[in-house]
Chain A
Amino acid sequence: MAEDAEVRARSFWSGTITFGLVSIPVELLPATQREGVSLRMVSPEGTPLQRRYFCSKDEKELDWDDIVRGYEVEKGKFVVVTDEELEKLAPEKTRDIDLRRFVPASEIDPIYFERAYFLIPGGNSTKAYRLLAKTMEQMDRAGMATFVMRGKEYLIAIFAKDGILRAETMRFAAEIRAPSDIGLPDVVKPRAPTVTKMTKAITSLTERAMSEKELVDTHTKRLLALVARKEKSGEGLVVGAAGDDGPSSGGIIDLMEVLKRSLQNRAEAEPSLPANKMGARKKIAPKKSTAKKTTAKKTTAKKAETRSTSPILTPSAL
């Protein structure tokens, strides 16, 4: 299970950063992972329910093949769009992150940031990767690029820090409202004593760092405590009812372990001969297996408290 999850995490997306004519093979790994709980919908007897589709006119149950996608152009009137048509419009499959624009890193407004990723070296040589990371870091520049992942085009900003490239998928400008779109009122010049009162209060509450403790998901914690209590007493427990298509079949990966291992593999592979990947992997095999053990353990321990936070009770979208 842990191994499957690892393979999935490793193959999240791999491709090439093109920087001028230089190609840098990279793998994209998420830097974040939702850990909330998503509940399943069950019958009063505890049978997991299935979502099925019915025609709103004749109440007939429909197969997926009987269903098409429609865009409502006016009330009750739809333009049907087929999967084939949408496929034709999808961006061309490419493995390139085309880095064609650099901007001062501090100029990017974080309001655009959607999700954080790591870009780690994908090939056996890390030279071009290290060169780009070092250059960007020294110049304090971020790179802007577009790339295609799972049939969708993304805009990303690439940052370099401590020798590692990170990426942030970005929202498009059309997705962000301006204060004027909302109609926020014009700025009123505040009274100096009020400002002073506030700066004083800010200063007295200021600390050097944030504490992750304040970010604890207390709702999930309470929910898991309730589950543990009921599981122990056997109240509401339906043994073996989950089936195998539930949300937990996804498994949870220890991202940190996967990332560390990926980066270590590269570092150790580098000085050796330009041998194939197998050779490089074999060399560190013993280390890998111990690391895997810890991952597996952590995975089991963590799994119970991990799943999507969404209050809407849908099957996990991950």
Chain B
Amino acid sequence: MAARAMWKGRIRFGGIDVPVKLYSALEGTTIGFRLLHNTDKRPVEQRMVDPETGDVVEYADIKRAFETEDGNLVILEDEELEELIPEDSRDIEITRFVGEDAITHEWYDRPYYLGPDGNGAEYFALVTALRKKKKTGLAQWVMRKKEYVGALRVEGDYLMLMTLLHAGEVVPADKLPAPSGRDLDKREIAMAKQLVSALEDELDMSVYRDEYQDRVMELIEAKQKGKVLSFPKAPHRQKETSLADMLEKSLTSTQKKKAANG
């Protein structure tokens, strides 16, 4: 079943105009609970209360305030906040293109797919062009009254818009000193490499599941049927010492396992 687009806009750069539809690339999988009153199992309502008077303050009367360093509040009127809202626009403006690795993944926030709006002639031309040039676009746009910065990249056969964190929110790793110490032993490096090779595998993301969510769902289903569930906890492993010894032991045991599995 086709998903509904969240937003429609157009990618713009250098006289080019590509109409697109935007979709979230994420599926909400977290199990959501409602808060209930324990006696009658009715949903709970949240209200904002003035602790001085004990009165509920209606949503329309609530004001927003900024808390300053020294514990003061600055009340911001709705009209003032309204003025800060960016001007509505349908443009995803590409300010520049950079190499595919220039925006490191620490900046990545949320992924969105872009799909063609219309016949796709321009859209798939852009996919092809970006792939050919091995480039990522730096994008700016306003969506639902909010400003975004993002990376426009190719994901498979389609375009993806990855929202980015803002300036100052990522610690630049290249300014960090690497831990130092005496030179590493060549034999140990060789063994560590062997161990990495022995543990090397194809990347298959489908083997990883959020097992906690699975267990919670299982519990809910069992309770719904009136059953009681019990989950045994996994036992824990113990550790030993000496780096070279441990590497060697790890290698032998990994190799044995591999041999046993054929």
Q: Are B166 and A54 in contact (CB under 8 A)?
A: no
How many residue-residue contacts, CB under 8 A, span A and B? Answer: 513
From the candidates B62, B146, B206, name the one contacting A173 in the complex (CB within 8 A).
Answer: B206
From the candidates A136, A146, A203, A212, name the one contacting B208 in the complex (CB within 8 A).
Answer: A146
Complex A-B: 14 CB contacts under 8 Å: A32-B170, A47-B51, A49-B49, A52-B47, A70-B36, A70-B43, A73-B224, A100-B199, A130-B181, A131-B188, A134-B184, A184-B23, A205-B13, A207-B97
Q: Are A116 and B74 in contact (CB under 8 A)?
A: no
From known contacts A23-B239, A174-B29, infer whether A42 and B36 are also in contact, taking CB-CB under 8 Å: no
Q: Are B251 and A92 in contact (CB under 8 A)?
A: no
Q: Are B33 and A69 in contact (CB under 8 A)?
A: yes
- B contact residues around A16 at 8 Å (CB): 239
Known A-B contacts: A53-B35, A85-B219, A263-B177. Give 4 more (CB < 8 A): A18-B237, A32-B170, A62-B37, A68-B35
Most A-side CB within 10 Å, residue of B26, B37, B160: B37
Bound-state Cα–Cα, A94 to B239, Å: 13
Q: Which of A224-274 contact B (CB under 8 A)?
A: 226-227, 230-231, 236-244, 246-248, 255-256, 259-260, 263-264, 266-267, 270-271
Nearest A residue to B24 via CB reads A177
Q: Are B44 and A53 in contact (CB under 8 A)?
A: yes
From known contacts A21-B250, A126-B179, A205-B94, infer whether A199 and B129 are also in contact, taking CB-CB under 8 Å: yes
From the candidates B86, B164, B181, B239, name the one contacting A126 in the complex (CB within 8 A).
Answer: B181
From the candidates A37, A51, A126, name the one contacting B46 in the complex (CB within 8 A).
Answer: A51
Q: Are A219 and B147 in contact (CB under 8 A)?
A: yes
- B contact residues around A139 at 8 Å (CB): 193, 196-197
- A contact residues around B61 at 8 Å (CB): 43-44
Q: Are B177 and A203 in contact (CB under 8 A)?
A: no
* A108 at the B interface (CB under 8 A): yes
User: From residue B85, how far is it (CB to closest CB) to chain A in Å?
Assistant: 8
Nearest B residue to A69 via CB reads B33
Q: Which of B144-185 contact A (CB under 8 A)?
A: 145-147, 149, 155-158, 160, 162, 164-182, 184
From the candidates B74, B97, B170, B179, name the one contacting A31 in the complex (CB within 8 A).
Answer: B170
Q: Are B62 and A120 in contact (CB under 8 A)?
A: no
Bound-state Cα–Cα, A218 to B86, Å: 9
* A291 at the B interface (CB under 8 A): no
Bound-state Cα–Cα, A104 to B201, Å: 9
From the candidates A52, A70, A184, A230, name the one contacting B74 in the complex (CB within 8 A).
Answer: A230
Sorted nearest first, the 7 A-B pairs with minimum C-beta distance are A20-B250, A183-B2, A163-B178, A201-B14, A190-B125, A198-B129, A236-B75
From the candidates B38, B174, B189, B231, name the one contacting A162 in the complex (CB within 8 A).
Answer: B174
Q: Are A111 and B160 in contact (CB under 8 A)?
A: yes
From the candidates A113, A222, A226, name the one contacting B108 in the complex (CB within 8 A).
Answer: A113
Q: Are B44 and A55 in contact (CB under 8 A)?
A: yes
Nearest B residue to A197 via CB reads B16
* A289 at the B interface (CB under 8 A): no
The interface on chain B, measured as residues whose beta carbon lies within 8 A of the other chain's beta carbons, has a size of: 159
From known contacts A43-B50, A188-B119, infer whether A201 and B25 are also in contact, taking CB-CB under 8 Å: no
Most B-side CB within 10 Å, residue of A67, A170, A174: A174
User: From residue A5, how far is it (CB to closest CB) to chain B in Å?
Assistant: 14
- B contact residues around A36 at 8 Å (CB): 166
* A81 at the B interface (CB under 8 A): yes
User: From residue A106, how far is it (CB to closest CB) to chain B in Å?
Assistant: 10
Q: Are A35 and B220 in contact (CB under 8 A)?
A: no
* B259 at the A interface (CB under 8 A): no
- B contact residues around A47 at 8 Å (CB): 50-52
- A contact residues around B86 at 8 Å (CB): 218-219
* B95 at the A interface (CB under 8 A): yes
Nearest B residue to A67 via CB reads B35
Nearest B residue to A116 via CB reads B106
- A contact residues around B240 at 8 Å (CB): 21
Q: Are A81 and B243 in contact (CB under 8 A)?
A: no
Return the CB mask of B26-64 against A: 1 if under 8 Å, else 0.
110101111111111111111111111000010001111
Q: Are B177 and A260 in contact (CB under 8 A)?
A: yes
From the candidates B2, B102, B105, name the one contacting A210 in the complex (CB within 8 A).
Answer: B102
- B contact residues around A44 at 8 Å (CB): 57, 61, 63
Q: Which of B176-215 contact A (CB under 8 A)?
A: 176-182, 184, 188-189, 192-193, 195-197, 199-203, 205-206, 208-212, 215
Q: Are B234 and A209 in contact (CB under 8 A)?
A: no
Return the CB mask of A162-193 against B: 1 if under 8 Å, else 0.
11101010111111110101111101111100
Nearest A residue to B196 via CB reads A102
* A276 at the B interface (CB under 8 A): no
User: From residue B21, how far is it (CB to closest CB) to chain A in Å?
Assistant: 9
Return the CB mask of B125-156 against A: 1 if under 8 Å, else 0.
11111101101011010000111010000011
Return the CB mask of B8-23 against A: 1 if under 8 Å, else 0.
0000011110000001
